[in-house]
Structure 1
Amino acid sequence: MTDAQQEQDAAPQAGARFAWTRRHTLTVVVICAALILDTIDISIMNVALPPIKSELGFTEAGLSWVVNGYLVTFGGFLLLCGRIGDILGHRRMLIAGLVLFAASSLAAGLAPNAETLIVMRAVQGCGAALISPMTLALLARIFPEGPRAKAIAAWGMAAGLSGILGLVLGGLLTIGPGWRWIFLINVPISALVIAGVLLWIARDHRPARRTQRFDLTGAVLSTAGVTLLTIGIVQSSQTGWTSPTTLLPLIVGLALLAAFTLHEARAKDPLLPFTLLKIPNVAGANVTQALVGGGMFAILYIATLYQQEVLHYNPLQTGLGSRDPRAATSSTSSARPSSSASAWP
């Protein structure tokens, strides 16, 4: 470890005078780039769904798993991966997550069929679950209280902008080299981020706390419960809410989440300490985030399909939220009046 790296890690110590240097700026850039890889892969997929559906032969219900496969494993393993980083080291686990993310992106970009793509999207979500909590933990480790607010503000801004950037970049890649490059482009970018982590972020120097447990049971229960609930909701669009293929996964999913709640209440090292939820600000923030996230992801999925399959936008126009006026004359759907497209903002 270099002297500069030792100084960087020593910054948060009590009484230490902190001086923001070029190294700290590069550290924030690298960490934000790692976070953007995670968050951009949620929105970047939406504009490419119609060509993916056409080329790989997805059904309507199966197509939703191109998005849900990523989100379910990302959300399900987020708590567990955060604990793994606390025990094994945040920098080490950030690199591991980036490697897993890059490898699964390569496999997804080369996927020969729908099943392979869905599986690789789920593996991508696991890599993202390793990356995201490590980025925030590293900012907390490197920066003391005052400068930490500045670094976390940049982190939050990167997460917000990546949603918009994902729609535009997804449109450009889809109408350009093709939808597969939405995944393949992650490989060189991940390599650059890994190089930045190795150059600008100091090694994990604290000894691992072996007394803590991973709480694998909690992670399996929560992930399986959320997955089954999602399957039930997706099935409802095809078979109805009263069908056994809808009710069974919904009931089992709710039962697993109930078991997760009981397990966490008794666990020595729970993934989700319920004492946190007793703090009004924490509980309110989580409820708000759940409502905002649920609404945003749903509208992104529905709106992008509507724009392309009903209004006949191309992927770039969908990402930009605007349409070339000449597209109305080239539409193959003569039954659709041109005014319906112009009514879309």
Structure 2
Amino acid sequence: MDTSRRRLIALCAVQFIDVMGVTVVVSALPRMIADLDGSPAQVGLLVPVYAVGFSSLLLLAAKLGDRHGHRRVLITGLSLFAAGSVVAATAPGMTWLIAGRAMQGVAAAISVPNALVLLTRTASRADRDRALGLWNATGGLAGAVGLLAGGLTTSAVSWRAIFWGNLVLTAILMATLLRLVERDQKDRRPTPGIDLWSVIFQVTAVAAIVAAANTSARVWAIPTALGLTAIVAAVLLVRRERRTPKPLVPAGLWRPGFVAGLLGSFGVTATTSSLVVVATIYLQDADGFSPASAGLMILPFSVAVVIAAAVAGRLMPRSGPRKLLLGGLLLILAGATAAAIWSSTSALVAGLVLAGLGNGAGAVAAYGLGTAVRPEQQGSAAGLLNTAAQIGTATMVAATVAVATATTRDNGLDYRSGWLTIVGTAVVVVLGVAVMTRASGSRAGAAVHASRVLAGHHHTVGEDKRDARRCC
């Protein structure tokens, strides 16, 4: 195996470890709480603290990579993840365990966008789409492996072994990356600084909205206050970004193709995460499956994600990311519709497979559109794409469960309402992406036409369309 392929696998392993960190503790939660005698308030913090740290700092971490070198910042993030693993593995009480999980969430935010930038920069043009396919396939596999590995490790050894395993894997990965990834090259061009107020407003807005989504089942005043905080911080962020000479996101990044990728990244995770969560509850509540059996019934979704992402990486050079993204979103829409129309286990599993295929293809295409930017913009692009994906999961899972809870007559969920909420979300995202990609295609076609005229070339409409597709 040549060096470039080993480097690609190592960078994708960063995605694997950090995404697996979200789900690996789920199966172990009862044992952790019992061993450490956790209070209800502490239990409520254990899962959200990772999600808040992960989602809120992605954009800042990517900007720090632009300024200080993506390899250097990536290694720093992995070092912090290892330190958090030690704190969690040796935790004498719930407070220390929560602190360790918080460190891991922050470390994941530092690591993932910088690994993505290094992956897109080091892969050749011919291999870039396949690399993105492997990146997204790795993320899809990590979620399922986390649930399985966490449960098996806790049952066979101890929940503390999960974090010791994280430490060993992270140490091996750091050693591999230090050997395979070249040192950061010093850029002679001046790097714009980072506006402190923009950072404060951005982190506050994302952290508040993710925290609100994770506390939506509690007293209404808490998520309401957090939601209002997120809105105020977002308004202040937009105002600050327009005025500061050092914006977190360069103004030139907001082009239709990038916005389509950003909307696709949000939509793919928002719809499929909600579908998986509602399906898991349905299988246990309505069909009487045990938690382990319900997990196995969800497994075809993860397998479909991995297969579709790998295939999409090979198809995208021929089909273009726009068609692939729309096709993936339509598959997700079909899967959610099947679950809503035919309320049966077989229809649900078939819907999960369709949604998994759509997730794999759509995520690759969204990242393909979103990272097709100038080198100096790739850090911001990677940070925003990952932030959109995290917000999609956090907000829409909570919204779907809230709708399903509000429309039921008993203490359970109205599953059809939940699935119809996912269908509606998918329709809105499909329409938004269609508008953005059409605008992107028109702009690219006009640019190609103008370049040909200036160069004095004769051309046909078909040639312009083919060149526009390659651009976008």
TM-score in terms of structure 1 length: 0.75
Q: Which amino acid aligns with 1:266?
A: R
Stretch deviating more after TM superposition (266-275 or 187-196): 266-275
Structure-2 residue corresponding to 1:99: 79
Partners of 2:260 and 2:3 in 1: how far apart? Answer: 36
Structure-2 residue corresponding to 1:259: 236
Where does 1:119-268 land on structure 2 (aligned, <5 Å)?
119-207=99-187, 210-239=190-219, 241=220, 243=221, 245-268=222-245
Q: Which amino acid aligns with 1:248?
A: A
Q: Is residue 2:48 matched to residue 1:68? A: yes
Question: CA contact under 8 A between 1:93 and 1:130: conserved in structure 2?
Answer: yes
Aligned residues: 301
Question: CA contact under 8 A between 2:55 and 2:207: conserved in structure 1?
Answer: no
> How far apart are residue 291 of structure 1 and its match?
3.8
- Against the structure 1 CA distance between its residues 80 and 235, is the aligned structure 2 distance closer, same or farther, given a 3 Å change threshold? closer
In structure 2, stretches of 5+ residues that fail to align are 299-344, 350-472
**Aligned with residue 282 of structure 1, among 236, 258, 270:** 258
Q: Is residue 2:269 matched to residue 1:293? A: yes
Structure-2 residue corresponding to 1:337: none
- Against the structure 1 CA distance between its residues 56 and 288, is the aligned structure 2 distance closer, same or farther, given a 3 Å change threshold? farther
- Against the structure 1 CA distance between its residues 295 and 113, is the aligned structure 2 distance closer, same or farther, given a 3 Å change threshold? farther
- Against the structure 1 CA distance between its residues 111 and 312, is the aligned structure 2 distance closer, same or farther, given a 3 Å change threshold? farther
Q: Which amino acid aligns with 1:77?
A: L
Partners of 1:128 and 1:51 in 2: how far apart? Answer: 24
> How far apart are residue 262 of structure 1 and its match?
1.4
Question: CA contact under 8 A between 2:208 and 2:226: conserved in structure 1?
Answer: yes
> How far apart are residue 308 of structure 1 and its match?
8.8
Question: CA contact under 8 A between 2:27 and 2:150: conserved in structure 1?
Answer: yes
Partners of 2:283 and 2:33 in 1: how far apart? Answer: 15
In structure 1, stretches of 5+ residues that fail to align are 1-20, 323-341
Partners of 1:300 and 1:46 in 2: how far apart? Answer: 15
Question: CA contact under 8 A between 2:192 and 2:246: conserved in structure 1?
Answer: yes
What is the Cα-based RMSD across aligned positions, in Å?
A: 3.1
Partners of 1:94 and 1:53 in 2: how far apart? Answer: 32
- The structure whose residues are more often helix, as a share, is 2
Question: CA contact under 8 A between 1:171 and 1:317: conserved in structure 2?
Answer: no
> How far apart are residue 130 of structure 1 and its match?
1.5
Give SS of 1:178's match.
coil
Partners of 1:97 and 1:46 in 2: how far apart? Answer: 23
**Aligned with residue 92 of structure 2, among 112, 122, 127:** 112
Question: CA contact under 8 A between 1:171 and 1:319: conserved in structure 2?
Answer: no
Structure-1 residue corresponding to 2:361: none
Q: Which amino acid aligns with 2:269?
A: G
Stretch deviating more after TM superposition (75-84 or 266-275): 266-275
Partners of 1:290 and 1:65 in 2: how far apart? Answer: 24
> How far apart are residue 85 of structure 1 and its match?
0.9
% of aligned pairs identical?
29
User: RCO greater where, 1 or 2, for CA within 8 Å and sep 6 or more?
Assistant: 1
Stretch deviating more after TM superposition (211-220 or 53-62): 53-62
- Against the structure 1 CA distance between its residues 296 and 116, is the aligned structure 2 distance closer, same or farther, given a 3 Å change threshold? farther
> How far apart are residue 108 of structure 1 and its match?
1.4
> How far apart are residue 211 of structure 1 and its match?
3.5
Question: CA contact under 8 A between 1:95 and 1:194: conserved in structure 2?
Answer: yes
Stretch deviating more after TM superposition (300-309 or 47-56): 300-309
Stretch deviating more after TM superposition (92-101 or 219-228): 219-228
Partners of 1:39 and 1:74 in 2: how far apart? Answer: 10
TM-score in terms of structure 2 length: 0.57
Structure-2 residue corresponding to 1:88: 68
Structure-1 residue corresponding to 2:469: none
Partners of 1:58 and 1:249 in 2: how far apart? Answer: 24
Post-superposition CA distance 1:166-204 (Å, at most 9, x none): 121112112111222222211111111111112111111
